[in-house]
Structure 1
Amino acid sequence: MTVDSQVRMALDVACHINVFARDASAELLPAALDAIVEAGYSRVVLPPLDPATTDATALARLLSDRGLTPITIAGGQSAGADVSSADAEERAAGAAMLRSVVDLTVALGGDQMNGVPYGPFGPPTGPTSPAAVERAAREVGAVADDAHELGVAMTFEVLNRYETSLMNTAAQAMAFVEASGSEHLRIHLDTFHMAIEEADISGAIRLALPKLAYLELGQSGRGALSAGVVDVADIVRCAVDDGYRGRWGVEAFSRSILSEPVADMLAIWREPYDDARVLAEDALQVIQRGWSASTVGRRAQRLSRNAPA
């Protein structure tokens, strides 16, 4: 067994669809899914989808035919449907939106829903009040408990200060889980955001470890994991040795691949990469280097070499 195949067996890695395609439209999705499989992934992160207009049966077939398992994304809350709102009807509408994405996840054959379920996504206009954080936590926790009953693990992504003021650090995420009252709500950390907000990325991962279910690997410039200020391989090494056994994600964005509204929303003004296949393969190589350098990886390789033929 090669080191590469050992890594694929040991680590569960997902690739974001926007690495390859601007959206999940019928004309773009099949080729993007094929490319993700060819690059070596068995799990794909889908963009936020509207459950009311998504043909779940057709999409589930496209995924299962390729042996791909989806991770869905709940988009940010909006005016009139916001779990952090002081208005009870708005909170209920926000929670209903989240539950509709949970139902879509089940229909697609997925078992995990990521996203920003706790409030609006976008440049904050000011700090979020503690009361709003508490309201969001309670609502999101209730949805997470319902999702668990349906076989779906619900995570929430910790974003940087330019995209939300509700929470920006692993410590805040742990406090949010505690405030939710849920035994099932889990954390999604992203090294791109952590490079902005955390003084010690590996230390922050260690802090969140009891509730961490998704560790997304994104480089400082949103391009190849091997080129940037974030030492992704070393983060993988530390996380594995610290005991992280959850799923991993690969995320990158390039303006020529994204739709213009999405590129604008994410502030992607240039082309951090121009070959999605090269980026996706490079990401697995970086992850492999980190795993191979870990105590866990070295032990697995040693045992493999000593195993009888």
Structure 2
Amino acid sequence: MDIGVSTFVWVSPFSTASFDVLQKAKDIGYDVIEIAVEDRQLIDWPVLKKTCRDLELNVTVSGAFGMDRDISNERPEIRANGLSYIVDCLEIASELESPIFGGPLYSAVGKTRLVPEAQKQQERQWCLENLHQATRRAEELGVTLALEPLNRFETDMVNTVDQAISLVDEVGSSWLKIALDTFHSNIEEKNIPASIAKLGDRLVHVQANENDRGTPGTGHLDWAGIREALDAIGYRGSLVIETFGAPSKELARAASIWRPLANSADELATEGYDFLKKTFCN
């Protein structure tokens, strides 16, 4: 199983000036670098592609869904911008040969409200309409969309595996699957291995994060059970560490990151890699 690390571990937003983290990831031993696309204009994409190829680093692509990138928003111009962002990231993923583009595709991170059922259903309908369009472009490009449930403190729309399955199955496209982040699952699922079993072949990407988003292996997650559940469903995707070593103000607010999660980003990346390699690849 390939082990990966997100650019979020070191920097936000990722830019051409941050390409040194690619060499860091390679030196530690990672197979995959996950590129977080906060602002595509900050990145020299041809140079990034060449650098990753030269380092023999595979790529996955993840999204950053701010309030202006919300395909379920009541304002049509924001929904349109959200869809445009998803399509842009699909095209980036295709160019970088990433098999997936993942994230909370359905809404903005930090959008948390108690709303009437009629409003909730309308927002779901807007989301479905845009996901149908996005999956058509995903199919054309050969990149799978990976929809990620987030915990209740970051979204009010899709918190659980059951909710993700319901939305994905309603779209009904083989180009829309599910990404699982074990940090969020620790909050929302009663049993993470059981939720993995329920996902089956819908699961195309795993962000292997500790219960506090710190270094994997230092908290209380049932990593042995997670490994057994992934083996049981024949999971062959990547395991990527995604945490936030130097979040922007917007990201810190959305993800509620108020304190350092390790002594340093380099330490977290190194010790996290060692733990995941030992646990999942031996």
- 8 Å Cα contact 1:233/1:289 also seen in 2: no
Counterpart Cα distance in 2 of 1:219 and 1:249: 11
- 8 Å Cα contact 1:44/1:70 also seen in 2: yes
Aligned partner of 2:242 in structure 1 is: 251
- 8 Å Cα contact 1:13/1:41 also seen in 2: yes
Aligned partner of 2:99 in structure 1 is: 111
Identify the structure with bigger relative contact order (alpha carbons < 8 Å, sequence gap 6+). 2
Counterpart Cα distance in 2 of 1:197 and 1:50: 30
SS in structure 2 of the partner of residue 129 of structure 1: helix
Q: Which is higher, the Rg of structure 1 or of structure 2?
A: 1
- 8 Å Cα contact 2:19/2:48 also seen in 1: no
**Alignment partner of 1:19 is 2:9:** yes
Please, what TM-score do these two structures have when normalized by structure 2?
0.88
Please, what TM-score do these two structures have when normalized by structure 1?
0.81
Deviation at 1:89, TM superposition (A): 5.2
Going from structure 1 to structure 2, the CA distance change for 1:53 and 1:290 (only over 3 Å counts) comes to: closer
Deviation at 1:57, TM superposition (A): 1.7
Aligned partner of 1:306 in structure 2 is: none
**Alignment partner of 1:162 is 2:150:** no
Counterpart Cα distance in 1 of 2:63 and 2:32: 17
Going from structure 1 to structure 2, the CA distance change for 1:270 and 1:50 (only over 3 Å counts) comes to: closer
Q: Runs (4+) of structure 1 moved beyond 4 Å?
A: 86-90
**Alignment partner of 1:185 is 2:176:** yes
- For residue 31 of structure 1, the aligned residue among 12, 16, 20 is 20
Counterpart Cα distance in 2 of 1:62 and 1:259: 25
Deviation at 1:45, TM superposition (A): 1.1
SS in structure 2 of the partner of residue 183 of structure 1: coil
Letter of the 1:277 counterpart:
D
- 8 Å Cα contact 2:66/2:108 also seen in 1: yes
- 8 Å Cα contact 1:39/1:277 also seen in 2: no
Counterpart Cα distance in 1 of 2:196 and 2:135: 21
- 8 Å Cα contact 2:3/2:276 also seen in 1: no
Counterpart Cα distance in 1 of 2:181 and 2:200: 13
- Number of aligned residue pairs: give it: 279
Letter of the 1:19 counterpart:
V
Deviation at 1:289, TM superposition (A): 4.2
Q: Percent identity?
A: 26
- 8 Å Cα contact 2:14/2:37 also seen in 1: no
Q: Give per-residue Cα distances to partners, 1:97-144, cap 9 Å, x unaligned.
A: 211111222233433211222111114122461232233133213312
Letter of the 1:15 counterpart:
V
Going from structure 1 to structure 2, the CA distance change for 1:141 and 1:253 (only over 3 Å counts) comes to: same
Gaps of 5+ in 2: none
Bigger shift: residues 221-230 or 15-24 = 15-24
**Alignment partner of 1:176 is 2:167:** yes
